[in-house]
Amino acid sequence: MASRRRVLLKVIILGDSGVGKTSLMNQYVNRKFSNQYKATIGADFLTKEVQFEDRIFTLQIWDTAGQERFQSLGVAFYRGADCCVLVYDVNVAKSFDNLNNWREEFLIQASPPDPENFPFVVLGNKIDVDGGNSRVVSEKKAKAWCASKGNIPYFETSAKEGFNVEAAFECIAKNALKNEPEEELYLPDAIDMAGGQQQRSAGCEC
Amino acid sequence: MEEAESYPPIDPSNFDLIVIGTGLPESIVASAASAAGKTVLHLDSNPFYGSHSASLPLNDFIPFIQSESQPQSRNLTSDDYVSTPVATRPLYSAVETNSYSSEPTENSRKFNLDLAGPRVLLCSDSMIDLILKTGINQYMEFKSVDASFISSADGGLENVPDSRSAIFKNRGLSLTEKNQLMKFFKLVQRHLGDDETEDDKISDQDLESPFVEFLTKIGLSQKLKSIILYTIVLADYDQENLEACKDVISTKSGISRLALYHSSIGRFPNANGAIIYPIYGQGELPQAFCRRAAVKGCIYVLRMPVVAILNDKDSGEYKGIKLVSGQELFSPKLIIAPSFTIPSTPNHDAQVANSDDVSLSDTKKVARGICITKHSLNTQVANCLVFFPPRSLYLEQSTSVRVLQLSSNVAVCPSGMFVTYLSAMCDDNVQGKKLLNAAINALFSVPISGNSENSGASNLSEHAEEKPCLLWSTLYIQELTTFQGGLDSISKTPMPDEHLHYTDLLDATEKIFKEIYPNEEFFPSINVSNDDEGGGSELDS
Amino acid sequence: MHGRPRKAPTDEEQEASSNKAVKLRDLQSQVLQFHRNKIYTKEAIEISAKLLESNPEHYTGWNYRKLAVEHLLDHLPENGVDSESIQSILDEELRLVENALKRNFKSYGAWHHRKWILSKGHSSTDRELRLLSKFQKLDSRNFHAWNYRRFISALKKIPDEEELQYTTNMIYDNFSNYSAWHNRSVLLSNLLEKGGKGYDDRGTVLGEEYEFVRNALFTDPDDQSGWFYHLWLLEQTLQREPLFLSSWPPNGSTLCLSIDGYLNSQQSWPMLHFQSKARTFPLILYFSEAVEGVSSSTVTVESEYNAGGDLIWRPLSPKKFGFSQAWLTDLKFSDKVHSLESCPVKITVAHFPGIISSSGMPCSQSCHLSFTVCVPANDQERSEVQTAHRISLEEENFKALATQSEEAKLVHSLSKLEIEKVNRPTTCKQSLETISNEIAHCQELLSSTDCKIGKLTLARLWMARNTLITYGSTDDGTEVHYEDILALYRDLMKMDPVHICYYEDEYSLALWKQATSNLVSLLKHCYQYQETSSSPSMNPSLCVRLNGLSLSRIGSMEHLLWVQMLDLSHNKLRSIEGLETLQLLSCLNLSNNKICSFTALEPLKKLKSLQVLDISNNEIGAHSIDTRRYLCSSPLNHALVSEWHFDKFASDDVTLKDHWDAYLIFDDLNLIQLEIMGNAIVDDRLRSFLFKLMPSLKWIDGESKCD
């Protein structure tokens, strides 16, 4: 759960299994790609520092850890997201059709205060496959859907080639920033457990 | 209803471990097994995580505790195996709800009500250690419980003097009592210290004796004893009445609990006291463990009831399960949630079956209650604990009533409201309700007419100096079950227990894990994954 | 840092630190150059920042910075002089200070610089307070932070009440916070002085504070912070005016001035004798505590035959410059006064407020005292100068006083402090009540906890109670038995041997009080001394003996101003401060004590009447490093230098290096008899030097000059 400190932005990536969510994350943060599909074993969340104007932010990108496979993401996953990325595979029609479900599921679970204006970003991934020949969802169709849902920014990407990934996440970061917390639930002073194992040292008495 | 659902097929169909129910013990076991490299399938019939440990929106709360699932009637047969239908039995009873205002229900989704409240965490307890060890603190946030109170003789609430500064500030203790209490804390510290001489140690004889006797021996006043026994050591039963007491706390145990409490104070830099609570409710814990399990490869399927257990036709051994979708899945081991009943079959191990048919008199119960109000019990604090030691509410009160008030700053209710949990051990429903109602009447002002919303509204002209007025309340009795270990490959996890903490539950869970996987470590220390191929190392800040 | 074991640095560490040192020296020399040449360019300023961030102790660096800031401010462009540009210059400084403080939180230079910036008035004091809160969360006891907090509060004009609440919160957080308690005492002092709403009733305010701190004392009696605050509260409660206690000559006496007489002749009240060739006699005024302002404008002496002119009052025990408990002046009677005339003298003390104690309280109580002086007939006839005889000070020569004897009556009269008080001071009933209350609580605490500070506090409380009772008008006999107080101190000496010297001193004070303030006990210490071996024509003398009592310190002299012969042998005295008050002292026995240097005898320099001194068997010269040797008014003090005639006595044997301290002390004395053996420093050289130094000296250690 991302803390609501201003400098930390929580981004979640939604989409059907296998559309390339983890690969996109890895490509953006680590500039790595692996052909092995391990059904996201081990992917939890990655962080990256981004600079915007003259401020530095930490982007915390949350992977679904495979729980999306049977639509079994818990409400905790959605909480506190500053931006939601919807990913589909341009070569798999069903994955595009499900975007709507994912979007709605997010709005129900996360209950953002201003659902109309919550920042989504849509990524059409795997445009590299077969030189683009196995593509079944056209850019036009995708853009139309995005426009109809409040002008959601749209990017066509290839995690494998690293195409457009940087640009997409820059846009994601910018959008996440827009959503500065006016949340009713501003939760200040949450306990910091990171240093929890250390003893508090006694101060010098002079 | 089930006909309309389409259930997805699960692939693969063989797993090392199948876990049914996403309650906290089940989630911990699933997570531990995944961490040990086992392939795990984790199912829950509900559309949410947490099962009996979940936190739910207001309007979903009562239906859950009142639900009794229907035994499945279809897809029960199997060609290759003996298929034994499973059913769940209700573990909650005597549910009573009163609604005095529509405001709570109108904001249902802003509530996260714990099914197994009140429950908190001590900063040094084993659950926190596990949370830190597994790294799931990254999935959660916590806030301090600002204060603890004990009911005083005149019906008010007094701060619990649990630390040096609390003793100093306390208005309810006499000067001599302050001196005595602090001396006692120091005595315990010296006893537990490593480099102290023999003289500082408490004798073995004293250690074995009941804590209440030791406290009397060193001259603590009645008030101080009560504070130590019921608000710090958290005893349930009346310790003074040693014959009738079902759980006498020894000095040794009392001292270690005291030490645990004190080491919790100041463990984390901006935690005020010893006690913390997870933001969004206790239901965050099972979700966090499940996520960790998922990260390690565990497969999650919600909304998937299990209808039958499959046994081998010849040996009668457990083989697998049958889902409502008809699919059969197999594993050498199975973990099931406490509400499951498995009727006995011929070759079935009698012990597992019999354990479900316990006679009522042996069943332990805990009475639970939830109240929603618009004002805090104490204007200085938002989140607090309140204790009613035995005999403080009425003479025959034989168990302690624990109360936890939470505010919107832990995201369990809408802004401006407060949620208060109550619990007490009881022998039967009547006794349980009596205990809770006594506490409720002591703390709150109950509107006169019950469900009528009109009169409820007029009663809501708040006299904030007076007791807070109830907007909504519920009482119910929860059965306590014990776990059953790995007999015949099937283990059953326990229901949330009667305590404020998770320590016993965690112990039982670890035991289950050790029984099914005696050679595996329960959550080995995290090392950076050298699994570079998938780029799936758990890198984070 | 405290508590870190020192480890020898490794080679790498040494190399790293010497590299660092080189860099630092480089920076330092650069900055010094900029400073000298008044270079204030951007680069220069940045370099100074680097220096100060790595070495915040570089004092000159901060000075340079200040000059640079002034320079920048002066050189702001005409149209650019607005608060924003000023602010940005100052903000830069604040940022630098913050970085410096991160390096060394306790750097005086850094804090001072910050104060300097804030004084310029353009910076946000709110932000400073927030910063302070952060600092104080990290370390609530850092006195720099508290100091700075006081500065900001004053700047921001935060009312003291608010700051008081802040200390309350800090104390609630952790009552071990000594600094918070201290700040509280500072604020309350101000508030009580100003008076105003809620703070006009001192007793109530202090009462609440007692209650507040009592919680700390009971919760953790071993924590010192609360006890220190409690001590401050007691001081506030016991604060009272200085009182004029006693005098010599005593009220109602008749003083006979005489020219001859070795030891004064038999005295019988009210006749007292004083030998003075010059017809002067000392007038001593003794107060309850050190005061200043005793002068001829605050004390009037009315007498017909005063030799005229303003009297010069001298303080007799200058611990704090100009303050003293005892004040002395010499009254001279003119030659015109003929024999057998009695001249009444009337003294009025403090008829203007003008005599003020060191804590600022004025002596507003006016007193009169009067005595008579008579000058007997010119005793030229009794020309026979009495030969001095050596006094042997042997035990057999002392005889206890019979209760109804003349001497006893004399003592009785001399020791009564009867002074006509015009405005009787009222013992603050509230103070007495408060003290009694605190005594009760202290005893309650001690009944369950054996706590040494508690015991010390109880002893102090009992002493304070006795003082309040004796000096107040209520002498209701409810004084605490001194035996109980002495028992407490003996306990403490066992419980807390680290501080044994302190306890011995307090014990001595209590014992002294016990011995001298009560007539019955005083009489027990008065003896008749008669030299059995000498001619019976020598009158027996009255001697006060306070020997063998383990005294480490000398107490209050108010009952002893009249003493001429004093035996303090066989005690533990390291210092004899207080003896300078006894202007009549002619014979003093300090043998078998712990005096370890001549300079410790400095108080004797004021005793003009001293003739017999026994300092045998002490420890003068026993230690090669005599730590007390230099604890004296500097021999280079300009008042003394003019009188420095050491050269007269220098010889091959006697050098300045070896004997300056003996010279310093004995030059002023006119001893006839000196016992000095049993001290390591004594040798023939010293003896012969002393004979030369003091012409009147007849015997040293029983050997006469001629031997």
Q: Are C219 and B180 within 8 A, CB to CB?
A: no
Calpha distance C569→C588 (Å, rounded):
9
Please judge whether B176 and C444 are an interchain contact, meaning their C-beta atoms are less than 8 angstroms apart: yes
| C659 alpha-carbon distance from chain centroid | 28
Nearest CA to A204 out of C228, C58, C168, C138 is that of C138
Least confident segment among A147-156, B17-26, C307-316, C642-651: C642-651
Instruction: Say what the pLDDT of residue C264 is.
Output: 44
Q: B279–A187: do the CB atoms touch at under 8 Å? A: yes
Q: Note whether A206 contacts C1, CB cutoff 8 Å.
A: no
| Single-letter residue type at C111 | W
For residues C632 and B198, the model is more confident at: B198
Residues of C with CB below 8 A from A203's CB?
A: 138-142
Q: Is residue C99 part of a domain?
A: yes
CATH of the domain at A150: 3.40.50.300
Residue type, B463: H
CA distance C219 to chain B (A): 5
Residues C81 and C190 in one domain: yes
Q: How far is A74 from chain B (nearest CA, A)?
A: 6
**What order do you get walking across the sheet with A154-156 strand by strand?**
A45-52, A55-62, A8-14, A83-89, A120-125, A154-156
* A-chain residues near B300 (CB < 8 A): 66-67, 69-70, 72
Q: Is the preceding peptide bond at C270 cis, omega within 30 degrees of 0?
A: yes
Same domain, C115 and C260: no
- Band (C396; pLDDT cuts 50, 70, 90): confident
List Cβ neighbours of C605 (8 Å cut-off, separation of 6 or more).
C580, C665, C668, C669
Residues in Cβ contact with C434 at an 8 Å cutoff, skipping those fewer than 6 apart: C203, C206, C207, C210, C237
In a domain, residue A205? The reply is no
pLDDT for res C387? 59
pLDDT above 60: residue A187: no
| % of chain C exceeding 90 in pLDDT | 19
Model confidence at B413, pLDDT cuts 50, 70, 90, reads: very high
In-domain check, residue A186: no
For residue C449, the chain B residues in CB contact (below 8 A) are: 179, 183
A143–chain B nearest CA distance, Å: 30
CATH 1.10.405.10 segments of chain B: 163-264
Position B60 scores a pLDDT of 93
Residue A38 forms part of a structural domain: yes
Quick check: C218 contacting B, CB < 8 Å?
Answer: yes
In chain A, residues 96-135 whose CB comes closer than 8 Å to chain C: none
pLDDT confidence band for B214 (50 / 70 / 90): very high
In a domain, A174, yes or no: yes
Q: Is the CB of B433 inside 8 Å of chain A's CB atoms?
A: no
B2-89+282-359+481-516: CATH number: 3.50.50.60
Of C175, C221, C444, nearest to B168 by CB-CB distance is C175
In one-letter notation, the amino acid at residue C152 is: I
| Residue C173 belongs to a domain | yes
Comparing A41-45, A162-166, B102-106, the range with the smallest average pLDDT is A41-45
CA distance C484 to C112: 50
pLDDT digits (tens, 9 = 90+) for C242-280: 888 888 888 888 887 776 544 345 566 667 777 776 778
Nearest to B279 among A42, A46, A190 (CB): A190
For chain A, the three-class secondary structure string (H helix, E strand, C coil) is: CCCCCCCEEEEEEECCCCCCHHHHHHHHHHCCCCCCCCCCCCCCEEEEEEEECCEEEEEEEECCCCCCCCCCCCHHHHCCCCEEEEEEECCCHHHHHCHHHHHHHHHHHHCCCCHHHCCEEEEEECCCHHHHCCCCCCHHHHHHHHHHCCCCCEEECECCCCECHHHHHHHHHHHHHHCCCCCCCCCCCCCCCCCCCCCCCCCCCC
**Interface residue of B175, B265, B270 to substitute, partner C, most C CBs within 10 Å:** B175
Residue B395 CB partners (closer than 8 Å, separation 6+): none
Query: How far is the C-alpha of B202 from the C-alpha of B217, rounded, in Å?
Result: 12
Lowest mean pLDDT, pick from B349-353, B535-539, C243-247, C462-466:
B535-539
- Is B197 near chain C, with CB under 8 Å? no
Average model confidence (pLDDT) across chain B: 85
- Which two three-digit tokens encode residue C323? 């303050």
What is the chain B residue with the closest CA to C169? B169
- C677: helix, coil or strand? coil
Give residue C316's pLDDT band: very low, low, confident or very high (50, 70, 90). Answer: confident
* Residue C164 and residue C264 share a domain: no
DSSP element (H, E) containing C566: strand C565-567
Q: Tell whether B180 lies on the interface with C, counting CB pairs under 8 A.
A: yes
SS3 C193: helix
Q: How confident is the model at residue C329, as a pLDDT?
A: 86
The helix (run of H) or strand (run of E) holding residue C195 is none
Residue B137 C-alpha from the chain's centroid: 18
Residues 6+ apart with CB under 8 A from C499: C492
ipTM confidence = 0.87
* Closest by Cβ to B167, choosing from C174, C219, C441: C219
The chains in contact with chain A, meaning 3 or more Cβ pairs closer than 8 Å, are B, C
Query: At C627, is the pLDDT very low, low, confident or very high (cuts 50, 70, 90)?
Result: low
Residue B183 with chain C: CB contacts under 8 Å: 449
Q: Which residue has the higher pLDDT, B348 or B79?
A: B79
**B446, burial (CB in 10 Å: exposed 0-12, middle 13-18, buried 19+):** middle
Topology (CATH level 3) of domain B163-264: Guanine Nucleotide Dissociation Inhibitor; domain 1 (1.10.405)
Longest dimension (CA), chain B: 78
Please check whether residue A201 lies inside any domain of the structure: no
Whether residues C121 and C268 fall in one domain = no
Phi, then psi, of A120 in degrees rounded to 5: -110, 155
Q: Does residue A184 form part of some domain?
A: no
What is the sign, positive or negative, of the torsion defined by CA atoms of B468, B470, B474, B475? positive
Work out the end-to-end distance of chain C between its first and last CA atoms, rounded to an integer number of angstroms.
Answer: 64
For residue C451, the number of C-alpha atoms closer than 13 Å in the C-beta half-sphere is 23
Mean pLDDT for the stretch of residues C119-139? 80
Flag whether C336 is in a domain. Answer: yes
C neighbour chains, 3+ CB pairs within 8 Å: A, B
For residues C636 and C634, what is the distance between their CA atoms, to the nearest angstrom? 5
B450 pLDDT higher than 60: no
* Cα C51 from chain centroid (whole Å): 45
C174/B165 CB distance under 8 A: yes
Contact A45, A11 (CB under 8 A): no
Q: Please determine, for residue B537, whether its predicted confidence score (pLDDT) is greater than 60.
A: no
Closest CA of chain A from B505, distance in Å:
22
Q: List the CATH number of the domain containing C365.
A: 2.60.40.1220
Q: Given the DSSP bridges, would you call strands A120-125 and A154-156 parallel, antiparallel or unpaired?
A: parallel
CB contact under 8 A, C139 and A203: yes
- Measured CA to CA, the distance from residue C171 to residue A66 in angstroms comes to 52
Instruction: Please report, for the domain that includes residue C648, its CATH number.
Output: 3.80.10.10
Q: How many domains does chain C have?
A: 3
Picking from B55, B110, B291 by the largest number of A CB atoms within 10 A of its own CB, the best residue to mutate is B291
Q: Is residue C108 located within the same domain as residue C31?
A: yes
For A39, B295, B538, the CA distances from B529, given in Å and listed in that order, are 16, 12, 7
Answer whether B276's CB lies under 8 Å from B142's CB. Answer: yes
Helix (H, G, I), strand (E, B) or coil at C46: helix
Answer yes or no: is C508 within a domain.
no
Chain centre distance of CA B304 = 24
Q: Quick check: is A137 in a domain?
A: yes
Give the residue-averaged pLDDT of B512-525: 91
Least Cα distance to B161 among B173, B152, B174, B143 occurs for B173
Distance in Å, alpha carbon of A31 to nearest chain C alpha carbon:
37
Q: How many CB pairs under 8 A join A and B?
A: 152
Residue of C nearest to B161 (CA): C219
* Residue tagged 């019939």 (tokens): B45
Based on the fold, state whether residues C534 and C641 are members of the same structural domain: yes
DSSP B131: H
pLDDT tens digits, one per residue of B467-493: 899 999 999 999 988 766 656 688 889
Residue (of B157, B149, B144, B159) closest to B409 by Cα position = B144
Question: Which of A58, A76, A197 has its CB closest to that of B288?
Answer: A76
Q: Rounded CA gap, A122 and B264, in Å? A: 46
Averaged confidence pLDDT in chain C = 81
Rg of chain A in Å (alpha carbons): 18
**So what's the pLDDT on residue C365?**
73
Count the domains in chain A: 1
Range of the domain at C545: 514-704
Q: Is residue C60 part of a domain?
A: yes
Beta-carbon contacts of residue C226 (< 8 Å; ≥ 6 apart): C175, C181, C213, C216, C217, C220
> Which pLDDT belongs to residue B200?
72
Chain C contact for A195 (CB, 8 A cutoff): no
Asked whether residue C458 is assigned to any structural domain, the reply reads no
A1–B141 CB contact, under 8 Å: yes
Chains touching B (3+ CB pairs < 8 Å):
A, C
> Is C445's Cβ below 8 Å from some Cβ in B?
yes
Question: Is C215's CB within 8 Å of B178's CB?
Answer: yes
**Residue C141 amino acid letter:** R
Tell me what pLDDT residue B301 has: 95
* A15 in any annotated domain: yes
pLDDT at B287: 96
d(CA C275, CA C609) in angstroms, rounded, equals 9
* Mutation for testing the C interface, residue in A192, A200, A205 having most C CBs under 10 Å: A205
CA dihedral B407, B411, B416, B422 (to 10 degrees): -40
Q: Give the domain CATH number at C125.
A: 1.25.40.120
Domain that holds residue A117: 8-178
Are C270 and C414 within 8 A, CB to CB?
no
| B332 preceded by a cis bond (ω within 30 of 0) | no
Which among B165, B169, B179 is the nearest to C218, CB-wise?
B179
Alpha-carbon gap: C187 to the closest alpha carbon of chain A (Å): 21
- The verdict on a CB contact (< 8 Å) between B299 and A66 is yes
DSSP B357-399: G--GGG-EEEEEEEEEESS-SSTT-SSEEEEE-TTSSSTT--B
Amino acid occupying residue C441:
H
| pLDDT range class, residue B345, cuts 50, 70, 90 | very low
Band (pLDDT 50/70/90 cuts) for residue B354 is: very low
User: Which chain B residues are closer than 8 Å to A39 by Cβ?
Assistant: 297
Task: Using pLDDT thresholds of 50, 70 and 90, give the confidence band for residue A3.
Answer: very low
> What does the pLDDT look like over B225-250, one tens digit per residue?
999 999 999 998 888 888 878 888 99
- Could you tell me how far CA C490 lies from the centroid of its own chain? 24
Residue B81 pLDDT? 85
Name the one residue in this structure whose structure tokens are 């991934």.
A125
pLDDT at B346 > cutoff 80 = no
pLDDT band, very low/low/confident/very high, at C624 (cuts 50, 70, 90): low
